[in-house]
């Protein structure tokens, strides 16, 4: 039979179907909007129990920073093993190795040089927050390979090579609107192309126990196509920013500074209103739950000490703040200036909910950018430890780098408490081994 010459303009039923599919995807990219996943209306995440606490979750992280997800696992007391981690910033490696158990062979510096294939099917949960360069939208390319040259591609590549049961991708809120939403649509389509059911939503840390305005998009991908997921519902904010700066309480049974002053005052003790570690209990009152009169017990060796990582307990030591954190008169005039000409900025200090923490906090910006507090009659900036607290890191986290590096690491991290809410909501133990 003579060979049939195929023309570039040839049409067929199959070609027409492909064209329809391509056209549909392009139209979706141009005009469509991927809707955010709803918030759960079921049992609140704080009341959820892990179904398989005996399981070990193998985790791998990219752009690991100071290990927010690793600290979340520590605070929850969950069994876990770090399969791999990495960050291009040398100081991050110092902080990471000081706080987590990982072998040198499992650490990488540049994600672009990391071969993840040896970890295939050896990791259950992958997490990362890649700095996202814009995609080139020339030709309306939608495929996995067309994302090459971006750090997002490296995240997606590692997901493809390791095939985890679940992945979490975190990024700035503005990603959803970049290039009229097209950039996010490309990312979303690539995750689905890799075989994952995708859920995403913008969450604010102030809705999950941390008094800081910090909105980020959280995207979860599940290998099991039948997985149904809704994001954890917000909880009432129990603490203010100032609660992270002085001596703070782990539970409702421990007194804050005002209560301690009342209970320990000589006047109240002489009048037998209060006592601490008494041999014989004072007369108990029916409204004891609501006042500070009565018996109090001092617990120097309480299980709820700063070394305990119970996720919803806040215990912070009272510490003297070094002089270097206080603002000089010259610097104070700058950071508390209301603005010049047409530029105006907020000069409020002592906020109940912190402004977003920045990686450049060591530079002391205007009050409309950074957080400042009054302390002992003076104004100061937040200390590195306080910044870590406002990112959900307990005081058990070891600081082994300079103040400047710690500020940068805190400002670039994911908020641990939001991760805890996600881990509980999805019941991460179901994906362990």
Q: Which residues contact 25 (CB under 8 A, 6 or more apart)?
A: 142, 189
pLDDT of residue 305: 40
pLDDT bin (cut points 50, 70, 90) of residue 290 is: low
Q: Average pLDDT for residues 118-147, to the nearest whole number?
A: 71
Give the Cα separation of 230 and 220 in Å (integer). 10
Which of 132, 219, 283, 387 is flagged as catalytic?
132
pLDDT bin (cut points 50, 70, 90) of residue 127 is: very high
pLDDT of residue 24: 57
pLDDT at 308 over 60: no
pLDDT of residue 211: 92
pLDDT digits (tens, 9 = 90+) for 39-74: 999 999 999 999 999 999 999 999 999 999 999 999
pLDDT of residue 307: 45
pLDDT digits (tens, 9 = 90+) for 157-202: 999 999 999 999 999 888 888 777 878 888 898 899 899 999 999 9
Domain ranges of the chain: 18-237+414-431, 241-296, 323-411
Q: Average pLDDT for residues 209-219, to the nearest whole number?
A: 94
283 is catalytic: no
| 3-state SS track over 223-242 | CCCCCCCCECCCCCCCCCHH
pTM exceeding 0.75? yes
pLDDT of residue 246: 45
Residue 96 near residue 67 (C-beta atoms within 8 A): yes
What single-letter DSSP state applies at residue 177? G
pLDDT of residue 209: 93
Residue 30 near residue 137 (C-beta atoms within 8 A): no
The backbone torsions φ and ψ at residue 385, rounded to the nearest 5 degrees and listed phi first, read -65, -40
**Among the ranges given (87-91, 286-290, 383-387), the one the predictor scored with the smallest mean pLDDT:** 286-290
Give the Cα separation of 362 and 383 in Å (integer). 9
Q: Which residues contact 8 (CB under 8 A, 6 or more apart)?
A: none
Q: Which residues contact 166 (CB under 8 A, 6 or more apart)?
A: 124, 125, 126, 220, 221, 222, 223, 426, 428, 431
pLDDT of residue 249: 33
Alpha-helical runs (H) found in 239-300 = 257-264, 266-270
Q: Which residues contact 325 (CB under 8 A, 6 or more apart)?
A: 380, 381, 382, 383
pLDDT at 86 over 60: yes
Q: List Cα–Cα distances, 112 to 117, 142, 191, 283, 285, in angstroms.
A: 13, 21, 19, 69, 66
pLDDT of residue 414: 95
Residue 419 near residue 72 (C-beta atoms within 8 A): yes
pLDDT digits (tens, 9 = 90+) for 143-157: 555 555 578 889 999
Give the Cα separation of 379 and 384 in Å (integer). 16
The backbone torsions φ and ψ at residue 354, rounded to the nearest 5 degrees and listed phi first, read -65, 150
Give the Cα separation of 109 and 84 in Å (integer). 11
Structure tokens at 274: 């209060």
pLDDT at 30 over 80: no
On average, the pLDDT of the chain sits at 82
pLDDT of residue 334: 86
Superfamily of domain 18-237+414-431: Vaccinia Virus protein VP39 (3.40.50.150)
- Residue 36 or residue 179, greater confidence: 36
Structure tokens at 328: 């000089």
- Residue 407 or residue 62, greater confidence: 62
Alpha-helical runs (H) found in 106-256 = 151-162, 182-193
Question: Which of 173, 129, 37, 85 minimizes the C-alpha distance to 414?
Answer: 129
pLDDT of residue 406: 92
Structure tokens at 292: 């500070």
pLDDT bin (cut points 50, 70, 90) of residue 415 is: very high
Query: Could you give the count of Cα atoms lying within 13 Å of 191 in the half-sphere of its Cβ?
Result: 23
Q: List Cα–Cα distances, 14 to 3, 19, 25, 248, 310, in angstroms.
A: 20, 9, 17, 67, 58
pLDDT at 136 over 90: no
pLDDT at 134 over 60: no
Dihedral, 217, 221, 222, 228 alpha carbons, nearest 10: 40
Give the Cα separation of 278 and 342 in Å (integer). 63
């Amino acid at each position: 039979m003579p060979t049939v010459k195929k023309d570039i303009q040839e049409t067929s039923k199959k070609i027409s179907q492909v064209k329809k599919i391509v056209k549909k995807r392009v139209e979706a990219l141009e005009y469509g909007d991927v809707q955010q996943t709803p918030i759960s209306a079921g049992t609140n995440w704080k009341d959820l129990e892990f179904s398989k606490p005996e399981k070990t979750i193998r985790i791998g992280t990219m752009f690991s920073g100071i290990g927010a997800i690793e600290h979340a696992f520590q605070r929850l007391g969950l069994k876990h093993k770090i399969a791999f981690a990495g960050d291009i910033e040398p100081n991050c490696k110092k902080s990471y190795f000081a706080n987590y158990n990982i072998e040198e062979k499992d650490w990488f510096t540049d994600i672009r040089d990391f071969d993840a294939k040896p970890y295939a099917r050896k990791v259950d949960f992958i997490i990362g927050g890649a700095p996202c360069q814009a995609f080139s939208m020339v030709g309306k390319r939608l495929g996995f390979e067309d994302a090459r040259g971006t750090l997002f591609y490296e995240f997606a590549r590692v997901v493809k090579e390791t095939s985890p049961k679940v992945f979490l991708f975190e990024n700035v809120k503005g990603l959803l609107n970049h290039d009229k939403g097209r950039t996010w649509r490309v990312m979303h389509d690539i995750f689905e192309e890799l075989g994952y059911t995708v859920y995403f939503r913008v969450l604010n840390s102030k809705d999950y126990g941390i008094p800081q305005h910090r909105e980020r998009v959280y995207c979860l991908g599940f290998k099991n196509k039948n997985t149904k997921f809704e994001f954890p519902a917000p909880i009432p904010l129990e603490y203010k920013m100032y609660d992270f700066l002085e001596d703070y309480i782990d539970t409702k049974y421990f007194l804050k500074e005002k209560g301690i002053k009342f209970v320990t005052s000589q006047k109240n003790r002489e009048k037998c209103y209060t006592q601490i570690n008494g041999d014989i209990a004072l007369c108990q009152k029916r409204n004891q739950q609501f006042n500070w009169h009565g018996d109090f017990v001092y617990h120097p060796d309480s299980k709820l000490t700063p070394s305990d990582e119970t996720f919803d307990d806040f215990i912070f030591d009272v510490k003297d703040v070094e002089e270097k954190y206080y603002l000089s008169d010259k610097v104070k005039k700058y950071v508390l200036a209301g603005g010049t000409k047409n530029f105006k900025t907020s000069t409020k200090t002592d906020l109940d909910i912190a402004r977003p923490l920045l990686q450049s906090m060591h530079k002391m910006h205007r009050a409309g950018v950074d957080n400042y507090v009054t302390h002992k009659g003076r104004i100061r900036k937040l200390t590195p430890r306080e910044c870590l607290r406002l990112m959900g890191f307990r005081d058990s986290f070891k600081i082994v780098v300079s103040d400047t590096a710690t500020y940068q690491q805190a400002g670039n991290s994911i908020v641990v408490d939001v991760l805890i809410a996600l881990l509980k909501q999805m019941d991460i133990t179901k994906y362990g081994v």
